[in-house]
Chain A
Amino acid sequence: MNAPDRFLKFVVPDGEARTSFIRDTKIERAGTYKVLCEDHTLGNLLRMQLHRNPEVLFAAYQVPHPLANHVLIRLQTTRKSSPTEALKQAIEEVRGEVDDLKNQFVNQVINMQQMAQGEAGAMGQGQMNYAGGY
């Protein structure tokens, strides 16, 4: 009954920054990124990628409450890096990976379509239709 509006899950409130950084007051090169309108999808993706970087001493994420529409990504790095650098790099790497996946998928769908069209042509019927079949 008093749950927040559902649209707050994907609409950033007016005047609020989507991403902010809260520097740790006690530890050097440590801090928390707060990303609004994001959840486990982004949090876990970045956390796992940050773990692959040996300059990252600590990386974790949390969604503080099921009704909270933001994710906190907390990380600490060695002297050779900084939280911003590490996160930038992690994002860049995951983007590269997702882009790679998209290319592979699209290419294979096209190949499959072409093969299906070839077969259908050989059999003299054009009823096989992938992906755009509606």
Chain B
Amino acid sequence: MAYPPPPGMGMMPMGGPHPMAAAGHHHQGVGSLGIPHKFQRKPKLTLRDMRDDYCEFELKNTDTSVANALRRTMIGEVPTIAIDLVDVEVNTSVLNDEFIAHRMGLIPLKSDFAVKMQTVYEAASGSNENNENYSAQSPTELTFKLHKRCESSQTAGIDVTSNDIEWDQAADGLDPNEVDVKPTTLAKLDESGNPEKGILIVKLRPGQEVKLTCIARKGIGKDHAKWSPVATAVFTFVPDIRIDQALMDTLTEDQRRAWIASCPTQVFELDPTTRRVIVKDPEAYTYDGECIKKAAEMGVPGLVEITPRSDDFVFRVETTGALPPATVVVWALETIEEKLKGTQEDIKKLIM
């Protein structure tokens, strides 16, 4: 990685107050370079929903470039751990070795431990010398084993799933209390109360066997998508919807109802008292343009005008389970800060 991961990583809100929580807005006013922040925006972030694998927040009073930088960084530059090398000892399953190796790589591993690991590139270049999170002992690799055999008595065949992957503590020599890397589960219980089945890797028939040794490494989504911590990380522009009420008043109530019904996502409704068309849920609008088309069909073009607001975004982040969504967002923001800091230091070093 060009810049060592930020020192603050890992200090995520897991329990007590975050050290940053007390710091407040220390960046306002005069910057460290003594230049007043004349052109700094004051964004407003509103957290709406936070679950085990999903989070939603609104970002206001900022630029698309900031929203897009955050989105890109979450997808491509937040480090996680994934299986990178597979040593196949026995494979008599129906899938070939490469096929299984690829499937192993795509299994999300719980990656909070990534803070304490270094990538093979960092280890090779020694770029972490000044980073408090790393030492020469910071591991670059974790070993996992998978051994499953379908006995001839198991005539129905068996499933090999991500739950069969086991960390080989002896091979890595790390403290098992510290290393919490394993295939992710959301620990949901199914209807009969059993923990959810793992991710299916391959099915075995009687007499078939797979025996693998896997090396997991730290990496980022820019290198390979298997290291991306998010399944979806998207933002949408909140629309600015303006109804021409004067024009609307020329329509009969049946016409208004028909027009409201034309919107597939129920953005509009009829006010029960005033009988006027009002915007119920602007964020439900998917920019499909159906209500605009309908207005034109009804002979009232310009009934509604819809434009995306360019400073109001709604983010939806769904993780793979490798990292909690709050961690993904915070690490992404820290990665952006680290990028900027790196460039800033480089510029200071340049001789003009």
Q: Do A and B come from one complex?
A: yes
Seen from chain A, the residues whose Cβ lies within 8 Å of a Cβ on chain B are 6-7, 9-12, 17-21, 33, 35-42, 44-45, 47-49, 52-53, 84-85, 87-110, 112-113, 129-134
A131 to B350, CA, bound (A): 41
A10 and B326 form a contact (CB under 8 A):
no
B250 at the interface (CB under 8 A from A): no
Q: A35-B343, A93-B31, A134-B321 are in contact. List 19 more A-B contacts (CB 8 A).
A: A10-B220, A12-B2, A40-B72, A41-B73, A44-B68, A49-B63, A89-B31, A92-B35, A92-B344, A101-B66, A103-B20, A106-B13, A106-B18, A108-B46, A110-B17, A130-B50, A131-B14, A133-B51, A134-B324
B121 and A10 form a contact (CB under 8 A):
yes
A57 to B299, CA, bound (A): 47
B90 at the interface (CB under 8 A from A): no
A85 to B39, CA, bound (A): 14
A103 to B23, CA, bound (A): 8
Stretch among B192-200, B290-298, B330-338 lining the A interface: B330-338
A37 and B2 form a contact (CB under 8 A):
yes
B65 and A48 form a contact (CB under 8 A):
yes
A130 and B336 form a contact (CB under 8 A):
no
B45 and A134 form a contact (CB under 8 A):
no
Seen from chain B, the residues whose Cβ lies within 8 Å of a Cβ on chain A are 1-2, 12-15, 17-18, 20-21, 23-28, 31-33, 35, 37-47, 50-52, 57, 59, 62-66, 68-70, 72-73, 77, 110, 121, 125, 184, 186-187, 220, 222-224, 321, 324-327, 329-330, 333-334, 336-337, 339-344, 346-348, 350, 352
Query: Distance in Å from the Cβ of B27 to the closest Cβ of chain A?
Result: 4
A88 to B31, CA, bound (A): 10
- Residues of chain A within 8 A (CB-CB) of B352 are 21, 84
A10 and B2 form a contact (CB under 8 A):
yes
Cβ-neighbour of A19 out of B24, B59, B347 (below 8 A): B347
A42 and B43 form a contact (CB under 8 A):
no
- Residues of chain B within 8 A (CB-CB) of A93 are 31, 37, 39-40
A105 and B45 form a contact (CB under 8 A):
yes
A98 and B223 form a contact (CB under 8 A):
no
A119 to B334, CA, bound (A): 31
A47 and B65 form a contact (CB under 8 A):
yes
Query: Distance in Å from the Cβ of B213 to the closest Cβ of chain A?
Result: 23
B69 and A45 form a contact (CB under 8 A):
yes
- Residues of chain B within 8 A (CB-CB) of A42 are 69, 339-340, 343
Assess A41 versus B69: contact at CB under 8 Å? Given A19-B346, A105-B57.
yes
A94 to B65, CA, bound (A): 10
Cβ-neighbour of A132 out of B14, B35, B337 (below 8 A): B14
A96 and B17 form a contact (CB under 8 A):
no
A89 and B33 form a contact (CB under 8 A):
yes
A97 and B47 form a contact (CB under 8 A):
no
- Residues of chain A within 8 A (CB-CB) of B14 are 131-132
Cβ-neighbour of B20 out of A33, A40, A97, A102 (below 8 A): A102
Please indicate which of the listed interface residues A6, A45, A47, A101 has the most CB atoms of chain B within 10 Å of its own CB. Answer: A101
A37 to B76, CA, bound (A): 13
- Residues of chain A within 8 A (CB-CB) of B321 are 134
Query: Distance in Å from the Cβ of A53 to the closest Cβ of chain B?
Result: 6
A134 to B84, CA, bound (A): 23
Closest to A5 in B: B223
Closest to A87 in B: B347
Assess A101 versus B43: contact at CB under 8 Å? Given A10-B223, A88-B35, A106-B18.
yes
Assess A103 versus B25: contact at CB under 8 Å? Given A10-B223, A48-B63.
yes
